[in-house]
Structure 1
Amino acid sequence: MSRVCELTGKGPTTGNKVSHANNKTRRRFLPNLNDVTLISDVLGQSFKLRISAAGLRSVDHRGGLDAFLAKAKNEELSAKALKIKKAIEKAQAAA
């Protein structure tokens, strides 16, 4: 399972673990990923996504999944999120 946020594209980063004696060894910083069910107002259905805690706060801040995906860059989104975005755009154009 990939450790990448489906909405923001956040993934693991690397750095150093520094001991009390100032010895440095490489380590990974993993994003705080959660399995979340988000509801699309336009489509009227829910979607299960694996997103970071920071991504969930961004979704709430922008006013929901539909508003977040409308402003999100396509390069950052996963294939699943991109499919949802296109379905929302199609539904809005039809209405």
Structure 2
Amino acid sequence: MSRVCEFTGKRPVTGNNVSHANNRTKRRFVPNLCKVTLLSDRLDRSFKFRISAHALRSVDHVGGLDTFLLKSKDEVLSDNARKVKREIAAAG
């Protein structure tokens, strides 16, 4: 299972740990992924996703799963999220 957000496409990036003596060692910055179950109002069903905490806050801010998926671009969504988006669009 890769460490990629299903809604925003956030993935690990690399950087350096820098010590006080300015020694540099490689490290990874991984997104804060959460396994969540979100409810669709139009389909009256729940769906499981693995999304970042930032994406979860965005879903709440926009007003729910349906509006977030309909506003988001298909390029950044995972295959599972794209499938749910198509179902929501067809229902509404």
TM above 0.5: yes
Q: Name the structure 2 match of 1:54.
A: 54
Shift of the alpha carbon at 1:20?
1.6
Shift of the alpha carbon at 1:40?
0.3
Q: Name the structure 2 match of 1:73.
A: 73
Q: Name the structure 1 match of 2:83.
A: 83
Q: Secondary structure at the match of 2:7?
A: coil
Q: Could you tell me how far apart the structure 2 residues matched to 1:63 and 1:75 are?
A: 21
Q: Flag as ranges the 4+ runs of structure 1 deviating above 2 A.
A: none
Q: Could you tell me how far apart the structure 1 residues matched to 2:58 and 2:8 are?
A: 9
Q: How does 1:6-25 map to 2 (within 5 A)?
A: 6-25=6-25
Q: How does 1:32-51 map to 2 (within 5 A)?
A: 32-51=32-51
TM-score, normalized by length of structure 2? Answer: 0.98
TM-score, normalized by length of structure 1? Answer: 0.95
Letter in 2 for 1:32: N
Shift of the alpha carbon at 1:63?
0.2
Q: Secondary structure at the match of 1:9?
A: coil
After superposition, the CA RMSD in angstroms is 0.5
Shift of the alpha carbon at 1:84?
0.1
Percent identity, please: 66
Letter in 2 for 1:86: R
Q: How many equivalent residue pairs? A: 92
Q: Could you tell me how far apart the structure 2 residues matched to 1:8 and 1:40 are?
A: 18
Letter in 1 for 2:16: N
Q: Could you tell me how far apart the structure 2 residues matched to 1:13 and 1:60 are?
A: 26
**5+ unaligned residues in a row in structure 1: which ranges?**
none
Letter in 2 for 1:6: E
